[in-house]
Amino acid sequence: MGAEAKSGYTGTGLDLTGWRAKNTRMICKRPPAGKKQRVPVVACLVLVGLLAVGAGAAPAPKAKTAPPPPPLTWKAGVAAVVVTPTNHLWMAGYAGRKKPAEGKVQELFAKALALQDEQGQKLVLVTMDLIGVGQPLHHRLAERVQKELGLPPQFLLLNASHTHSGPALRTSPVTAKDLENERTRTAYEYTQQLEDKLFHVVSAALAQLEPARLTWHRAQCGFAMNRRLPSPTGYRNSPNPDGPVDHEVPVLRVEVAGGTLRALLFGYACHNTCLGFYNYCGDYAGYAQEYVQANRTNCIAMFLQGCAADQNPYPRGTGVVPGLADLDLAQQHGRTLANAVEMANLTPQREVHGPLRAAYGEVTLTYAKQRPAHPYPVQVIQFGPDLTLVALGSEVVVDYSLRLKKELAGEAAVWISGYSNDYTGYVPSLRVLKEGGYEAQTGWADTVEDRIIGKVHELYGRVKQTK
Ligand SMILES: [Zn+2]
């Protein structure tokens, strides 16, 4: 079975099987070189006669009329802001860092896509090239956005790409003593500025709403590899080509008047850990966005991180591939993902209708050992009967995405993101928790998966829509 058939893309406008067969036949029918082709004269005369009769009998050709442009039933606005630190802060992601950043090879961005349905309901999706969205930051920003812009918290989604080449954040409150530490103080000051920038990018996107059309597409991209390798001593953090993955690349396309592309929001489930250097960079997701935006004026590409806790890019790191540095691989994977987005963009689209509905809730997750329980955020956004977008907090393993896509499968397409609205470490499935290993060390009780999945179904039940 071909790749198209496996992934459900047969019968599309991109199915080249018929074209290939037809053109193969045409090539095979060419006469052998050097041999003259005989043309039957009688047959030619008959053909000319038929054409003449046909031409005489044909009705006057009708003027071709272009199909009417698709209705722009939505409104959309986009905005982006550079969030690259202007100074050399300590970087996030790797515990073994020995010094602060030394420079940048790419700008980091926060981007906002504001949408409004025909009933006037608004939604803002925010993506950022940063390590995570601390829950205190999410709460503060959601409160401010509601108070000053009138957008309820369930209609605001914050997602981080989890790049390990961005600054460390300090989202929790600080004391005067904390601020005596320069590393803490600079991280805190950066985070304060970031919060303000996030508010303004949301505000700017909402201020630019214009008539728009939404379509949903998908493709596949293969460089994410499971990183839980079974070994005689337990699960090692190492590439496992046989482990579960989610290679889907969902794409939400935003078109405005004249068919102009205004935004491409795309997802993938893979850690942004190609790089281990001391420069600010969006890693593969930063390059994928850069490549998708290239040569597209006023179009913003946005990356929504998926359930990537146990997924790493493969290959990654300097020297793994002789002659290639980690940056080469980040760019190569970025190109691969950008190409998948382009392919999704070419496949037949699914029109996305409203109305918008959204639900947000925090489910209590407990730890196996004595430790305060954590209010874990779950958000479900429903685009009419066409698309269900689930946003889970923190670093969820791919099992959540695979399970929820099966359990929510129905009329609407299903899109699962992680790293949203919260950043409290790894969130294993029950399988991973029992197996142990790196992603299981957070210490959650074995109710963790049941509680999260239960909350998703509860919220989905509130927003589900059918035609
Ligand atoms: Zn991580």
* Separation of CA 331 and ligand 1 centre (Å): 20
Higher-confidence position of 204 and 27:
204
Q: Read off the pLDDT of residues 34-91 as tens digits, 9 standing for 90 and up.
A: 444 443 444 433 333 333 344 445 566 667 788 888 899 999 999 999 999 999 999 9
How far, in Å, CA of 238 to CA of 224, rounded? 13
Helix, strand, or coil (residue 98): coil
Mean pLDDT of 261-273: 98
* Separation of CA 424 and ligand 1 centre (Å): 10
Mean pLDDT of 342-355: 94
Q: Give the position of tokens 């020995």.
A: 98
* Separation of CA 162 and ligand 1 centre (Å): 7
* Separation of CA 306 and ligand 1 centre (Å): 12
* Separation of CA 131 and ligand 1 centre (Å): 8
* Separation of CA 93 and ligand 1 centre (Å): 7
How many residues does this entry show for the chain?
467
* Separation of CA 169 and ligand 1 centre (Å): 15
* Separation of CA 271 and ligand 1 centre (Å): 6
Q: Mean pLDDT check: name the lowest of 24-33, 322-331, 337-346.
A: 24-33
* Separation of CA 335 and ligand 1 centre (Å): 22
How far, in Å, CA of 459 to CA of 457, rounded? 5
Question: Any bridge partners for residue 279, and if so which?
Answer: 103
Q: Report percent pLDDT > 90 for the chain.
A: 81
pLDDT band at 16 (very low <50, low <70, confident <90, very high): very low
Q: Read off the pLDDT of residues 289-323 as tens digits, 9 standing for 90 and up.
A: 999 999 899 999 999 999 999 999 999 989 889 99
* Separation of CA 309 and ligand 1 centre (Å): 6
Q: Give the position of tokens 């293969």.
A: 222
Question: 165: how many CB neighbours lie within 10 A of its CB?
Answer: 31
* Separation of CA 130 and ligand 1 centre (Å): 12
Strands 300-305 and 260-268: parallel
Q: Report percent pLDDT > 70 for the chain.
A: 86
Mean pLDDT of 223-232: 98
Predicted TM-score (pTM) of this structure: 0.86
* Separation of CA 259 and ligand 1 centre (Å): 38
b/e 102-135 (16+ beta carbons within 10 angstroms → b): eeebbebbbbbbbbbbeeebbbbbbbbbbbbbbb
Higher-confidence position of 170 and 61:
170
Instruction: Name the phi and psi angles at 318, rounded to 5.
Output: -80, 135
Sign of the CA dihedral 134, 158, 284, 436? positive
Domains in the chain: boundaries: 74-352, 357-405+425-463
* Separation of CA 394 and ligand 1 centre (Å): 9
Instruction: Name the phi and psi angles at 426, rounded to 5.
Output: -75, 145
pLDDT of residue 149: 98
* Separation of CA 172 and ligand 1 centre (Å): 19
* Separation of CA 311 and ligand 1 centre (Å): 9
